[in-house]
């Protein structure tokens, strides 16, 4: 699954806005509430499967259920 698909599957009930923006040199960055939380440029690699979802889950905290569990 892609990072966007993972996020929307589990957290569509809390995501107000999600955007895919083409960047130079294969840029891949994830910004949550104005804060950069993952950058391919900074890490030198693409995110591993589930990595962006894990970061997002950590930001939200354990008290926010995934969509299917509501």
Interior/surface letters 39-49, b for 16+ CB within 10 angstroms, e for the rest: ebeeeeeebee
How many structural domains comprise the chain? 1
pLDDT at position 50 is 95
Q: Which domain holds residue 48?
A: 3-62
pLDDT mean values, one per 10 residues, the chain (70 residues) = 91 92 83 92 94 96 89
Would residue 69 count as lying in a domain? no
pLDDT at position 22 is 74
Would residue 67 count as lying in a domain? no
Which pTM value belongs to this model? 0.86
pLDDT at position 1 is 67
Q: How many CB atoms lie within 10 A of CB 10?
A: 20
Would residue 12 count as lying in a domain? yes
pLDDT at position 53 is 96
């Amino acid at each position: 699954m892609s990072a966007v698909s993972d996020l929307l599957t589990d957290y569509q009930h809390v995501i107000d806005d999600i955007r895919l923006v083409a960047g130079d040199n294969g840029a891949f960055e994830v910004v949550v509430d104005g804060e950069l939380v993952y950058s391919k440029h900074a890490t030198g690699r693409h995110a591993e499967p589930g990595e962006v979802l894990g970061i997002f889950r950590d930001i939200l905290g354990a008290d926010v259920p995934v969509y299917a569990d509501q």
